Chains A and B, each alone.
Chain A
Amino acid sequence: MALSLKAVQDAKFKRVVMPYVEYGFNLALSLLQNRSDAEDAIQEASVKAYQSVWQLRGEDSRAWFLRIVRNECMNILRTRSQARGKELSFDDEIEVVDQRTPNPVEVAEGNWTRAAMNEAIGKLSIGLREVLVLREIEGLSYQQIAEVTGTPIGTVMSRLSRARTALLNQLSGGETCP
């Protein structure tokens, strides 16, 4: 006798994936910088997660789902790059990051405006932006970020450090390094 157990699949998806859909949506927004694309990415990622939710065996479901979302975003970014005739690059050095030292007075006050903060985050390269968002907004550990991005922990730490330095530089408007 064969019985459909879709209800079990639904229940598992609701329990282990649905709590993180909003996190995934915000990750997609930060990576794609486009609301319509982010909506498409989170829907596609959710469908893929639903189809493969049985494969989840005790591992961290948030990191698992965010990895699916991240991969979906990368597919969209690659398509965009190909349309422009360029290769998608994660090389942080190619992206424009202000190399200035932070202004100590502004840093000490730390009262940046919301608009300035989000503009500065938006200017980070994709590689730096994703580790910053995964750490500060999604609250993931270094190990979880490594799992989501498919990079070694050392790279995660290095990118996070550079993201913070670049952010401070942009926010503080300090002097340009020689």
Chain B
Amino acid sequence: MSVTCTEVLKLIPLYVDGELDALRIDEVERHVSDCPECLGQLEMLQRLSQAVRAQYDYQPLPDSVLARIEAATVRPLRAHPVRWFVPFAAGLAIGAAAIWMVVPGLVRKDRFAQQLVSSHVRSLMLNNLVDVPSSDRHTVKPWFQGKLSFSPTVPDLAKQGFPLLGGRLEYLEERPAAALVYRRNRHIINVFVTDNPVFGLSEVDSAGFHVRHFRFQGLEYWAVSEVSEPDLKEFEEAFVASGA
């Protein structure tokens, strides 16, 4: 059934703005192919839209403003520049370098904790939470077979208030790892599982995130979430108890 001019005139702005589905696009295009008035309206809006984009006085962000923003956000806070601070800072830098060289394990631990939190954040941001969406542990656990050289424990913790959402593959410290995904109310808990015993982080507090590490049946587990610390501890205890 063909649409009327009145209907098409209402659809034309949405057509120009790319807000129509394929069916509506087809209706508009078939109508304007036979209707010079509606075609004229459509072309007028397209010309205006193109002219606004082409002629708009778009301004690049000044370097000075970018520098101010970076100084106020991503760069570490600096002390006020006083003369005694220079040798003090130099001494501090030498000390930090010494610590970096003498205690590389600590640095790696920090970096690994950041890697875990980054993976957790990324899973929440990119709609990339689960490769195998299932609340059934008998579906999630076998899914990892053939993908990993180990088989993670996947307990059903729904009764304890931590329903299973599924699992996905991860890559930690250049090795494949499993990520089990649980939920506590509205918060997600990612449990990263590897057979790599290098890092033993018992617990880590970060800006809004907690990381808990536990060793269970020969594998390494790291639970990462923004749930409260007691909740994450309760999760760890429930996890370990369920497999005991």
Binding site for B on A (CB under 8 A): 1-14, 16, 21-22, 25-26, 29, 39, 42-43, 46-47, 50, 54, 56-58, 102, 107-108, 110, 112-114, 117-118, 121, 132-133, 135-137, 141-142, 157, 160-161, 164, 167-168
Contact = CB atoms under 8 A, between A and B. Distances in A.
Given A1-B204, A3-B205, A14-B74, 10 more contacts: A5-B113, A6-B76, A39-B68, A42-B65, A42-B69, A108-B47, A110-B47, A112-B51, A114-B57, A167-B48
A142 B13 CA distance: 11
B39 to A, nearest CB: 12
B52 A25 contact: no
A137 B109 CA distance: 45
Interface residues of B, number: 51
Contact of A5 (B51, B52, B127, B207): B207
A160 B17 CA distance: 10
B52 A3 contact: no
A112 B55 CA distance: 8
A21 B69 contact: yes
Main SS of the interface on chain A?
Answer: helix
A121 B52 contact: yes
A85 B201 CA distance: 59
Given A1-B203, A3-B110, A57-B125, A43 B68 contact: yes
A4 B52 contact: no
B124 A58 contact: yes
A58 B44 contact: no
Contacts of A137: 52-53, 56, 58
B4 interface: no
Given A11-B118, A58-B124, A164-B48, A47 B72 contact: yes
B197 interface: no
